[in-house]
Structure 1
Amino acid sequence: MEKREGDFCSIAVDMGAGSIRVMLATLRDNAFSLEEIHRFDNEIRVQDGRDTWDMDYISREIVSGISKAIEVSELVPESVGVDTWGVDFVLLDRNGDLVETPVAYRDKRTEGMQEKWKKIMPKQETFSRTGINFYIFNTLFQLLSAKDSKALQRTSKILFVPCYINYLLSGRMVNELTIASTSQMLAVEGGEWDEMILEKLDLDVEKLGKVVQPGTILGPLLLPETGEKRIECVAVCGHDTACVVAALPVENPNFTYISAGTWCIVGVESTRPLISEEALKLGFTNERGYGNSYRSLKNIVGLWLLQGLKKQLAADISFSQMEEMVQGSGETSQVIDPDDPGFYNPENMKEAFDRYFEKTRQPLPVRFKDYIRCAYDSLCFSFRYHIEQLEKLSQNSIEVLHLVGGGSQSDYLCQRIASIC
């Protein structure tokens, strides 16, 4: 189809921990459309006793989806961009090949690494230098656990997951700012690696390489399907939440956002990070955003709670059916703290709930729907609490709430957020 002035087409690869999709975005005749071209499941797979990502499978499916998008698009796509969850990375040898199957952030190798690091550099100093709070899954702790490994010794380059996909598509080995900021190794000011932290890790800065700004054009897509077409691979905001916040239809600057997914995120966007002792104590972190912004936010174990309960109690019903069970049932009689470590990666989510109820001297739920209602309402109470804390830390009154992510499609969750927050 002939391209007219103002027409635009692009391919978006949105990588989630549960599923990955390839989307075709088209602007034509002042009308915008977003079409899902390819979606496939993604999951952590246990290999040799470790939680890993099957990156060969993932990359094959992504290339297949991009090829299909090029084939079906009425306009020639001008670019491809990739975003993912944070912190995870791949190790590449001098030939640009994977050194090992990439380890997932939920792997238990980071257990004890937070305490080990605090003996190397105080917690407050680390936070002040990077703006990133002490989450057990941080790249810093993953690399600390692998510090003396043969795999790291063989490594020539470390790329975050979206940057690895960009490398496969364009041939360029660079790390993008927003995804790099999730690592707890990037300096809070500017856009360079914190050399002191890398020195404490005995990690050569050359292995991490250059950090580029979101929007950097990496080069043409290196796929045979492009033929003579020049389709640029662009280092968009590599972290999915940074992409979400960049796309918010913001009219009132005094806003907060909730990104509801496997992880839920409550945050604000500002020009300065929140790096006070109180921000550290409350668990807030400061990731980078588009346009040199900061996203001061709290990561909360989110719909992972519902996914775990469904697996244990109702694997044969849908999430919409679960929501129908609790519609109109009022507030929960039990409450959990989603931040409790027991909910991070339990083998049995129902048992994790029961242990929490026993620890906090609450009665055990009688019915399955009571667990579901407890999970939803506890998340919403956590949202409200952290929004209140953000107001205090930023000294701004929040007037607007933007709800995004897969959870925004849940009518029940939207209702509970509106009622509780």
Structure 2
Amino acid sequence: MQKCHLAVDIGASSGRVIAGFMEDEKLQLDVIHRFPNEMKKKNGHLIWDIDFLFNEIKKGIQLSTKKYKPITIGIDTWAVDFVLLDKDYHRLTDAIAYRDHRTDGMMEKVFERIPKETIYAETGIQFQPFNTLYQLAALKEETPEVFEQANYFLMIPDYLNFLLTGKISNEYTNATTTQLLGASSKDWLNEVLQSLDVPKHLFSTPTEPLSSLGEITAELKEEFGTSIEVILPGTHDTASAVAAVPSLDTIYISSGTWSLMGVELDKPITSHKAFSYNFTNEGGINHSIRFLKNIMGLWMIQQVRKEWDNKYSFAEFVDLAYEKEDFPSIVDVNSEQFLSPSNMIEEIQAYCKNSNQPIPVEPGEVAACIFNSLVEDYCNTAKQIEELTNREYSTIHVIGGGSQNNYLNEKLAEKSGKTIYTGPTEATAIGNIIAQMVATGEISSFEESKSVIQRSFEIHKFK
């Protein structure tokens, strides 16, 4: 039976269990199991059904054993969200979702205790209202008693890994997104935690990607009929996705619900200019810094599609945008009003009205407004990257599901003047599996993995 590595890749709307293995010197992928993921209302908050997610992971593993012999497994998810466990490893909190409104106004309250500039100088992390820092502050304000019982802080993939192995760990790439970790020290920051009155003992020393957490629990071995080693990829999905960028020395965009746009560096940039541009310095898999900016991404068109009762596919929205490509209105895609609105279309229309621009009404106008606004932001961000790194980049490489949007690709090439490369679409799962292969020695290095990716997957060019 073919040996394989399993990538569990869970995003904000869906999850997959994907088998990966080498055949004829190419990386082969086989999607074993797909499952939905959505925020649910509970006790007045938006939460993730983390027990459901773990059961779906187990289903995917079980299905994989009918076809392959899985030898390792790695989990990646979105960032910032977390749970707290007590001393007996029982979960004390729900996995409250980052789009929940509990953090409204919380950044300003935190800045009263510790200056914004100090936070950035220490962490190098972009200010977003849903960062773990502000979620913890909100939890402390709403239910302070939970901290009297709490013993362990685990981010979502950390908790899923705990359920697989019984081992407590805080994986490094995801830990960097919390705005609680030193960009240079790579340790939890006492000053920031003390400002929240959150005990540091909740946090374990960050564990580097490629580390092994050991085998799955005895109960799971019996359930699956096999032993599987749990390897840490970049458990933050963007860290795994960036590991799958096939180009070197390029600006990248990991394009999905969010657009993560940046470059890989050896050291963080925490200058006042980087602070003013709101760039982030997140940990990479290969001892790198992912110097990037979070841009709203395709979340806006995803919500618009729902509000039109899924009448149009994403491909149809692209076609409709071409028909209205000259529609002139541009919105700030990073405005907080688009983060979790009750009605995305009305919010876009209100923005255009308030800024004295034509109001998009038809589906093609709304789609063109969103896509053109994204391109505008991508181009501005590319200029900021070049200014902050003091170098020019001739290419932008787009990976992830959004790389299939040729309207965005063509307009970006046209407006930026750069060569745009796109693919692979399954970048996050590929980066996850690549990490497992490097950890086990099947691929000698991440440098070699670039060649593997280039010969295994289609890469397209726009100029």
TM-score, with structure 1 as normaliser: 0.94
**Relative contact order (C-alpha < 8 Å, sep 6+): which is higher?**
2
Partner residue of 1:265 out of 260, 264, 277: 260
The residue number in structure 2 matching 1:89 is 82
Which amino acid is 2:158 matched to?
A: C
Distance 1:417 1:328 in 2: 17
Q: Is the 8 A contact 1:270 1:293 kept in 2?
A: yes
The residue number in structure 1 matching 2:73 is 80
Q: 1:369 to 1:78 in 2, by over 3 A?
A: same
Q: What whole-Å deviation, never above 9, does each CA across 1:294-350 have from its counterpart, x for those lacking one?
A: 111111111111012112235222111222222354333111110112111110001
Q: Is the 8 A contact 2:210 2:231 kept in 1?
A: yes
The residue number in structure 2 matching 1:307 is 302
Partner residue of 2:125 out of 111, 132, 153: 132
Q: Is the 8 A contact 1:70 1:226 kept in 2?
A: no
Q: SS of 2:140's equivalent?
A: coil
The residue number in structure 1 matching 2:159 is 164
CA RMSD of aligned residues (A): 1.6
Q: Is the 8 A contact 2:320 2:363 kept in 1?
A: no
Which amino acid is 1:80 matched to?
A: I
Q: SS of 1:24's equivalent?
A: strand
Q: Which moved more, 1:234-243 or 1:142-151?
A: 142-151
Matches within 5 A, 1:49-128: 49-73=44-68, 76-128=69-121
The residue number in structure 2 matching 1:233 is 230
Q: Does 1:153 align with 2:148?
A: yes
Distance 1:282 1:268 in 2: 15
Q: SS of 2:304's equivalent?
A: helix
The residue number in structure 1 matching 2:420 is none
Q: SS of 2:150's equivalent?
A: coil
Which amino acid is 1:65 matched to?
A: G
The residue number in structure 1 matching 2:16 is 21
The residue number in structure 2 matching 1:341 is 336
Distance 1:356 1:416 in 2: 23
The residue number in structure 1 matching 2:177 is 182
Structure 2 residue ranges without an equivalent (≥5): 417-463
1:190 positional shift: 3.1
Q: Is the 8 A contact 1:287 1:294 kept in 2?
A: yes
Q: SS of 1:36's equivalent?
A: strand
Distance 2:360 2:228 in 1: 55
Partner residue of 1:362 out of 357, 362, 367: 357
Q: Is the 8 A contact 1:18 1:42 kept in 2?
A: yes
Q: What whole-Å deviation, never above 9, does each CA across 1:132-163 have from its counterpart, x for those lacking one?
A: 12110100000011115233332221101011
Q: What whole-Å deviation, never above 9, does each CA across 1:37-70 have from its counterpart, x for those lacking one?
A: 0011101111121010011111111111112112
Q: Which moved more, 1:403-412 or 1:270-279?
A: 403-412
Distance 1:298 1:31 in 2: 32
Which amino acid is 1:87 matched to?
A: V
Q: Is the 8 A contact 2:61 2:224 kept in 1?
A: no
Q: SS of 2:96's equivalent?
A: coil
The residue number in structure 1 matching 2:369 is 374
Q: SS of 1:179's equivalent?
A: helix
Q: 1:228 to 1:304 in 2, by over 3 A?
A: closer
Matches within 5 A, 1:4-15: 9-15=4-10
Distance 2:328 2:308 in 1: 19
Distance 2:164 2:97 in 1: 22
Q: Which moved more, 1:217-226 or 1:284-293?
A: 217-226
TM-score, with structure 2 as normaliser: 0.86
Matches within 5 A, 1:185-224: 185-222=180-217, 223-224=220-221
Distance 1:382 1:22 in 2: 33
1:204 positional shift: 1.9
Q: What whole-Å deviation, never above 9, does each CA across 1:77-104 have from its counterpart, x for those lacking one?
A: 2210001111011111222122132110
1:402 positional shift: 1.1
Distance 1:279 1:305 in 2: 26
Distance 2:97 2:397 in 1: 29
Q: What whole-Å deviation, never above 9, does each CA across 1:183-225 have from its counterpart, x for those lacking one?
A: 0000111321112111222222221122100011000022135
Identity %: 36
